[in-house]
């Protein structure tokens, strides 16, 4: 195997920030460039790569750069087949695919010019014709080949079909001009024919999150020629002082922990190398305001339990990197009541104490979870749990009649069921209106309306 050296670039910096090298045995190493370390605006590429002169070996470099490759295998498989590469050859794949990494990072052949730069609304984009956009959405919906001349959306993370676009100030959809390097601003998530309600369910869950005070990605449901899709604003974009769109560097929790995508669920890892409460605590301790971030994270966990979202894995949480090294948790995104889908597991993405699902959760488990997050006083644990649980359950209960009016009674009843179960486990009286609703009972892996 030949050695490969690649430049690692970040949008906003004129020169490469470091190099990724594959040696003759296939091992990876990453090191920062000396010029980047001398830059007063430099910040770590990842929590797993603190700034310094030393190189990071294969055990550290491989998980982070593997996470830059998309989870869907279409483009990967084509490059593997065409170039004769193995899936484990991360550097070899990034040689061909690294220009399309999600976010502000690009990985390019040594000496290649930058491919990601700020975008000017007036000159760097072209409007997408309505008929063509409908054709793209229809193809994604039916899982068919995209119309000719359309970039494959699979470089975006995740397993759902989606495509990145820019929404211009006049509200029209556009795409970056070829070779411009300009950022997109929105993602369109398109359901398959078996999950037609997913856009509406995700939108309402995001809306509930925002209504209850969580910083949450902005989204809307848009109908494209009969297909409802979720149009979601990217939280890793902003306008600079020149009114240009710039990318904000971000990484998901798997990258921050040095975990490959295959270990995004706690149950797939081992002690010391898994996405668990102790690992989450290490991440939150690295943010600019750990105490506030921990309280928000605990609230997010309770919100997810109540709304039936048990898919909060390590790639569904992210960190944003501001200039000056300020790190904060990103707005909430990818919120879906997965317990409504009988084909999905009800197991937690990470354990809460000893509990692996809601049926097993007790106050002692939640206290153990808080202890792992550094909240060790029993009195503080009780006060925080009861105050957050009470506030969120009352807020959600107040929204249930609205969901009923929208024809989403099934979702509303699931929320009521989860609130009742969680508050019973915590010995907290449920808010008004919860006990009087139809209940949901779990049978054969699916949720059925109880009598």
pLDDT in tens, 34-83: 999 999 999 999 999 999 999 999 999 999 999 998 765 577 888 999 99
Band (pLDDT 50/70/90 cuts) for residue 223 is very high
Domains plus CATH for the chain?
4-109 (no CATH), 125-237 (3.30.200), 250-449 (1.10.1070)
The C-alpha atoms of residue 92 and residue 104 are separated, in whole angstroms, by 20
Structure confidence at residue 81 (pLDDT): 93
Residues contacting 84, CB < 8 A, separation 6+: none
The C-alpha atoms of residue 365 and residue 354 are separated, in whole angstroms, by 6
Q: 439 vs 404, which has greater pLDDT?
A: 404
Average pLDDT over residues 9-14: 92
The C-alpha atoms of residue 344 and residue 297 are separated, in whole angstroms, by 24
Structure confidence at residue 151 (pLDDT): 58
Structure confidence at residue 423 (pLDDT): 96
Q: Residue 171: is its pLDDT beyond 60?
A: yes
The C-alpha atoms of residue 389 and residue 306 are separated, in whole angstroms, by 9
Q: Residue 191: is its pLDDT beyond 70?
A: yes
Q: Residue 210: is its pLDDT beyond 80?
A: yes
Q: Which of 5-9, 79-83, 225-229, 394-398 has the lowest mean pLDDT?
A: 79-83
Burial of 96 (0-12, 13-18, 19+ CB in 10 A): middle
Average pLDDT over residues 277-290: 97
Structure confidence at residue 145 (pLDDT): 77
% of the chain with per-residue pLDDT over 70: 93
Residues contacting 407, CB < 8 A, separation 6+: none
The C-alpha atoms of residue 322 and residue 361 are separated, in whole angstroms, by 37
Order of strands across the sheet with 326-329? 250-252, 318-322, 326-329
Structure confidence at residue 73 (pLDDT): 56
Average pLDDT over residues 172-183: 94
pTM of the shown model: 0.92
Query: What integer best gives the mean pLDDT of the chain?
Result: 92
Q: What is the pLDDT of residues 335-381, one digit of tens each?
A: 999 999 999 999 999 999 999 999 999 999 999 999 999 999 999 99
Q: 450 vs 27, which has greater pLDDT?
A: 27
Structure confidence at residue 40 (pLDDT): 92
Band (pLDDT 50/70/90 cuts) for residue 149 is low
Structure confidence at residue 315 (pLDDT): 93
Structure confidence at residue 59 (pLDDT): 95
Q: Residue 443: is its pLDDT beyond 80?
A: no
């Amino acid at each position: 195997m030949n050695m490969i050296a690649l430049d690692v670039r970040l949008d906003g910096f004129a020169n490469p920030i470091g190099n990724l090298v594959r040696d003759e045995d296939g091992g990876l190493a990453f090191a920062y460039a000396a010029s980047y370390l001398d830059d007063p605006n430099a910040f770590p590429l990842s929590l797993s790569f603190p700034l310094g002169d030393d190189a990071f070996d294969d055990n550290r470099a491989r998980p982070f750069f593997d996470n830059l490759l998309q989870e869907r295998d279409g483009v990967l498989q084509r490059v593997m087949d065409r170039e004769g590469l193995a899936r484990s050859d991360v550097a070899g794949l990034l040689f061909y695919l690294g220009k399309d990494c999600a976010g502000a990072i690009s990985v390019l052949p040594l000496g290649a010019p930058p491919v990601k730069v700020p975008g000017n609304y007036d000159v760097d984009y072209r409007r997408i014709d309505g008929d063509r956009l409908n054709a793209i959405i229809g193809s994604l919906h039916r899982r068919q080949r995209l119309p000719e001349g359309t970039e494959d959306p699979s470089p975006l993370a995740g397993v759902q079909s989606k495509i990145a676009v820019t929404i211009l100030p006049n509200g029209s959809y556009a795409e970056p001009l070829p070779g411009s390097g300009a950022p997109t601003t929105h993602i369109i998530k398109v359901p398959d024919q078996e999950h037609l309600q997913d856009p509406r369910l995700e939108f309402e869950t995001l809306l509930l999150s925002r209504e209850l005070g969580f910083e949450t990605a902005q989204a809307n449901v848009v109908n494209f020629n009969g297909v409802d899709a979720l149009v979601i604003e990217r939280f890793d974009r902003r306008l600079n002082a020149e009114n240009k769109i710039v990318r904000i560097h971000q990484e998901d929790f798997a990258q921050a922990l040095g975990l490959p995508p295959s270990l995004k669920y706690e149950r797939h890892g081992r002690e010391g190398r898994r996405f668990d409460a102790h690992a989450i605590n290490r991440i939150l301790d690295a943010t600019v305001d750990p105490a506030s971030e921990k309280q928000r994270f605990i609230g997010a966990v309770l919100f997810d339990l109540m709304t039936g979202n048990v898919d909060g894995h390590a790639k569904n949480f992210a960190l944003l990197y501001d200039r000056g090294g300020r790190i904060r948790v990103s707005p909430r995104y990818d919120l879906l009541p997965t317990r409504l889908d009988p084909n999905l597991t009800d197991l937690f993405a990470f354990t809460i104490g000893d509990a692996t699902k809601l049926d097993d959760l007790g106050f002692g488990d939640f206290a153990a979870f808080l202890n792992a997050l550094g909240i060790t006083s029993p009195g503080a644990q009780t006060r925080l749990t009861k105050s957050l649980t009470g506030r969120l359950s009352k807020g959600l209960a107040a929204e249930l009649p609205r969901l009923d009016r929208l024809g989403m009674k099934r979702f509303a009843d699931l929320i009521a069921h989860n609130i009742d179960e969680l508050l019973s486990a915590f010995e907290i009286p449920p808010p008004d209106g919860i006990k009087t609703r139809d209940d949901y009972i779990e049978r054969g892996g699916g949720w059925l309306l109880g009598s």
